[in-house]
Each structure stands twice: as structure tokens, then as C-alpha cells.
């Protein structure tokens, strides 16, 4: 019968050696996520802001249905506001519940406003089709995208509530 001896491992007196867990403060452990979120925020601001500015300038042209273009501005603005709220919520644990609550209120309101303004613009186009030469497609796409995003938003809330309760 072989004799078994307990294995001897070298032990260190260093505080983090020997498998001791190291706890970093939240600000240090979150730093890469915050940097990534900030880069995404800057890119979203540039892209969505330039698209909103382009819609604004096109809406100033004569013969353009302003309501249809403003519906697209509302849709893009709602997306940009939600990205900012998510970013602010990631910065601090104290702001996260407030930003989630604000996003639950602001985001669907912006989407519904986009659909409503697009519908009003489309009704104007139907009443006088020769008067407006631009904006019809933007209003249609804004309404379709807003309804898809609103359905996805409501679906994610329903899934979250079903998992909690």
C-alpha cells in the first residue's frame, strides 16, 4: 500500500496571493464600460445629430411637408435621448433607477409623438398631393420605424415583468 503524503504548496505572505479575492471599487471596475459607452455616445450624437440637422434643413425648403420631416426628427431625437439616459445611468448607481424610470416615460412618448405627427403630415399630403414635393417617404418611414420600436419596447417590458412576477 503506497503511503500518501499531503501535498505541500508554497504559501506566500503577500495579501493577494494564495487565492485571496481582490475587490476593486466600482469606479475602477466600471471604467472600461464607461469609456466604451462614452465613445458610443459620441458616435450616436454625431450620426443622429447630423441626421436631425439634415431633416431640419430639408424641412425649411419650400414645397416640403414639414410635419413628416419633424416626425423623423422626433424619432431620431427619442433614440438620442434614450442613449444619453442610458449613459448617465451607467455613470453612477444613484442615477441608474432615475434614468430607467425617465426612459420608461420619455422614450415611448417620443415614439408616439413621431407616429402622431407623421399621421398628421400624411393626412395633409392626402388632402393636397400636388402641394408638397418632399417629406412623404420620411414620414412613412418614421411612422413604421417608430411603431416597430414601440412594439419592441413594449415586448421587452412584458418579458421583464413576466420574469419578475
The pLDDT assigned to 145 comes to 94
C-alpha cell at 114: 413621431
| pLDDT (tens digit per residue) in 58-86 | 888 888 888 888 999 999 999 999 888 88
C-alpha angle 63/49/124, rounded to 5°? 25
pLDDT for 117-145, tens place per residue?
Answer: 999 988 988 888 777 677 888 889 999 99
Task: Give the separation between CA 79 and CA 95, rounded to whole angstroms.
Answer: 19
pTM, rounded to two decimals: 0.73
129, with CB counted inside 10 A (0-12, 13-18, 19+), is exposed
Which of 126, 109, 144 has its CA nearest to residue 65?
Answer: 126
- Integer Cα distance of 99 and 51 in angstroms: 25
Amino acid at each position: 500500500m503506497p503511503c500518501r503524503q499531503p501535498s505541500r504548496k508554497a504559501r506566500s505572505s503577500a495579501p493577494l496571493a494564495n487565492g485571496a479575492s481582490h475587490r476593486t471599487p466600482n469606479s475602477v471596475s466600471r471604467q472600461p464600460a464607461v469609456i466604451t459607452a462614452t465613445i458610443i455616445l459620441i458616435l450616436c450624437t454625431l450620426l443622429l445629430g447630423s441626421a436631425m440637422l439634415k431633416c431640419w434643413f430639408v424641412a425649411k425648403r419650400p414645397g416640403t411637408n414639414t410635419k413628416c420631416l419633424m416626425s423623423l426628427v422626433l424619432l431620431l431625437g427619442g433614440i438620442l435621448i434614450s442613449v444619453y439616459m442610458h449613459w448617465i445611468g451607467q455613470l453612477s448607481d444613484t442615477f441608474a433607477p432615475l434614468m430607467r424610470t425617465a426612459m420608461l416615460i420619455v422614450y415611448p412618448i417620443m415614439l408616439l409623438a413621431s407616429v402622431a405627427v407623421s399621421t398628421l403630415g400624411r393626412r395633409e399630403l392626402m388632402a393636397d398631393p400636388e402641394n408638397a414635393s418632399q417629406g412623404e417617404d420620411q414620414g412613412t418611414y418614421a411612422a413604421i420605424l417608430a411603431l416597430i420600436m414601440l412594439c419592441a419596447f413594449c415586448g421587452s417590458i412584458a418579458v421583464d415583468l413576466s420574469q419578475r412576477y
